[in-house]
Amino acid sequence: MSSIDVINGGILTTIQDSGRYGYQELGIPTSGVMDDYNYRLANILVGNKLDEAVLEMTYFGPTLKFNEDLTLAITGSDMNPKINGQPAPMFETIKVKAGDTLQFGKVNEGVRGYLAFGGSIDVPVVNGSKSTHIKTKMGGIDGRALKPKDTLNIVGSKDKTMRRIPEKYLPKFNHCNLLRVVLGPQDDYFTEKGIHDLFRSGGYQVTKDFDRMGIRLKGTSIEHKETADIISDGTTFGSIQVPANGQPIILVADRQTTGGYTKIGNVITPDLYKLANMSFLDKVLFQKVTIEEAQKATLDYRNRFETIKKESVI
């Protein structure tokens, strides 16, 4: 087992994996990574299973000191990573030696970055997941973000394959994103004009109110037929709630388990990762797709990682 000393935890660095599913009926949020795409790329690069836990970094990453040799990979937003003061590459396998220090700075673009280690982060599995949910103090290290003097223990992997993500698969950070949406489950609560405006009014801007729970948008008011209230029902990553003011809210990883506002639609799985790196004044455009189109796009998205895994070996 390898150990890593946390010198500085960064602004918000948490342990996350693919999420804690099957417990929403008990009021337990799913949590998990915000950016599934960069999360999976990071695990591919170090030879892990695609759902292995990683560090999710927000705006300003941590400073870590390695006590043993280890492999790692950095994906997502560029936070100016440096190893022993020298620039470190992103989107490729990195070997570090005992005594090396990895330091991150402020993000250049986007919001979140991901750091995967070759092996498994040794923290308890809580309800099937290592993901951190800070509000309930569940998962990760005592249910909180990393802080100085923490120690991360890694059960090392035997995979020594060096990999690099081909350029054609590298994510692009845009200040205007197209998000494909399947209507429902309460689209019948909205007028034809309301549904038209969601897709045809010129898009919506991200407000200052965005975090791991949800992203509040501002734009043309989406018109209800009568009420914005429903009997609370389940939420999903990408649910688009529309309260009485007609301004949509996209629910994300740490969302509440149920909600009493009408949901006009849901962002489809292959587009969810775009939400992780949107910030104040960024813009979203919604595009209506059918369930069949969403299913095909999701299958293509899942299969893409097998192709990336093969093509990334150096």
Confidence class of residue 83 from pLDDT cuts 50, 70 and 90?
Answer: very high
Q: Please name the residue that has the structure tokens 């923290």.
A: 123
- Is it the case that residue 53 has pLDDT exceeding 90? yes
What is the DSSP-derived secondary structure letter of residue 188? G
Are 45 and 116 contacting, i.e. CB atoms less than 8 angstroms apart? yes
Neighbours of 189 (CB within 10 A): 19
Interval 23-32 mean pLDDT: 95
Domain boundaries, the chain: 2-169, 176-302
Interval 200-216 mean pLDDT: 97
- Is it the case that residue 7 has pLDDT exceeding 90? yes
What is the DSSP-derived secondary structure letter of residue 164? B
Q: Which residues contact residue 56 at a Cβ distance below 8 angstroms, ignoring those fewer than 6 apart? A: 13, 14, 15, 16, 33, 34, 35, 39, 112, 113, 114
pLDDT reported for residue 272: 98
pLDDT reported for residue 5: 98
pLDDT reported for residue 20: 97
pLDDT reported for residue 167: 97
**Torsional sign, CA 259, 263, 268, 274:** negative
Are 163 and 92 contacting, i.e. CB atoms less than 8 angstroms apart? yes
Per cent of the chain over pLDDT 90 is 98
pLDDT reported for residue 124: 97
User: Which CATH homologous superfamily contains domain 176-302?
Assistant: Cyclophilin-like (2.40.100.10)
- Is it the case that residue 189 has pLDDT exceeding 90? yes
pLDDT reported for residue 244: 97
Average pLDDT, the chain: 97
* Pairwise CA distance, residues 77 & 222, whole Å: 32
Report which secondary-structure segment, H or E, holds 298: helix 291-311
The model's pLDDT over 136-173, given as tens digits with 9 standing for 90+, comes to 999 999 999 999 999 999 999 988 899 999 999 999 99
pLDDT reported for residue 158: 87
Interval 211-240 mean pLDDT: 97
The model's pLDDT over 267-286, given as tens digits with 9 standing for 90+, comes to 999 999 999 999 999 999 99
pTM as predicted: 0.96
